[in-house]
Structure 1
């Protein structure tokens, strides 16, 4: 699932480890999310959105949205 996680994280000046700590996940999990190798759980997607003060679609592309 395409996302803006790296962009949002770097705009805040956070490392992958810092983001992982804020979310309660490992740095490896952040790497997998940023590289689109792993889709987050719904709970994690909402926690990410809250952390960046946006909605879920502000972080993750909706693959079901009509073009």
Structure 2
């Protein structure tokens, strides 16, 4: 339940977040309405931007990169 609340909060704040902010994979899955495996397939095909490695065990996506990808899908 806590993870779902975190995802919901991240989605609610996505529009107001600065382009330099980061979101984790569960948020990307919801934004692009796909599974974890599909996120990685779409990264490989170039439909979703690649994540940024924040540390050895932490990967996230820049909000600005995701906004650009979502905008290109709606055109």
Same fold (TM over 0.5): no
Structure ranking higher on relative contact order (CA contacts 8 Å, 6+ apart): 1
TM-score range, shorter chain: 0.3 to 0.5
Highest CA radius of gyration, 1 or 2? Answer: 2
Normalized against structure 1, the TM-score is what? 0.33
Larger proportion of strand:
2
